[in-house]
Amino acid sequence: MMAKRILVPLDGSESAEVAAALAADLARNSGGGVRLLQVYPVPEHRVSSTGRVVAYADQEMERLNAEGRDYLESVEAQLAPVSTETVVRFGKPEQEILVEAEAFDADMIVVTAARRGWLDRLTGGSGQRPHEQSDADQKTQAGPSREGGRTGGR
């Protein structure tokens, strides 16, 4: 199956922009298009330290929308001549990506994942070398013992 409609959520990271370029290559080869998506949290009123409203939520939403469009258009320019659209949404990214995928009738969603180094993979993300882990960490990793469900194995 060739992906003709590819959705690419962007978060401003270099890896997301690389993913957008890869999606553009896929779209170019299949004669399809790419929709770039930027999702922001729903803004709230901005208040000064004295409690005075500096910007209302709708003003903040307009500002973020313009900021997002500027960013998406800069990425879009790098993907030419592939047919590209841009969309800015507000809400929880995981929900808004799925809503946009359905609205766009996407064949594919291209996302990036956080890169984990060998130490994170080895330690489960604690960042500690195995010999630096506390007794509590080692007991938790050891799991329940055969003695009444206690951890630690002693």
Number of residues that make up the chain: 154
Helix (H, G, I), strand (E, B) or coil at 54: strand
The predicted-structure confidence for 72-116, as pLDDT tens digits, reads as follows: 999 999 999 999 999 999 999 999 999 999 999 999 999 987 666
Distance CA 93, CA 6 (A): 17
Distance CA 16, CA 96 (A): 17
- The matching CATH number, chosen from 3.40.50.620, 3.40.50.1100, 3.30.300.160, 3.40.350.10, for 5-109 is 3.40.50.620
The predicted-structure confidence for 19-52, as pLDDT tens digits, reads as follows: 999 999 999 999 999 999 999 999 888 888 888 8
Distance CA 111, CA 7 (A): 9
Answer whether the bond into residue 81 is a cis peptide, omega within 30°. yes
Distances (CA, A) of 41 to 38, 63, 79, 91: 10, 13, 26, 5
Q: Which residues pair with 144 in a beta bridge?
A: 151
**Residues 88 and 40: beta-carbon distance below 8 Å:** yes
pLDDT level of residue 141 (50, 70, 90 thresholds)? very low
**Pairing mode, strands 83-90 and 33-40:** parallel
Q: In the predicted model, is pLDDT for residue 140 greater than 90?
A: no
Lowest mean pLDDT among 2-6, 118-122, 123-127: 123-127
The domain segmentation of the chain, as residue ranges, is 5-109, 116-145
pLDDT level of residue 122 (50, 70, 90 thresholds)? low
DSSP 132: G
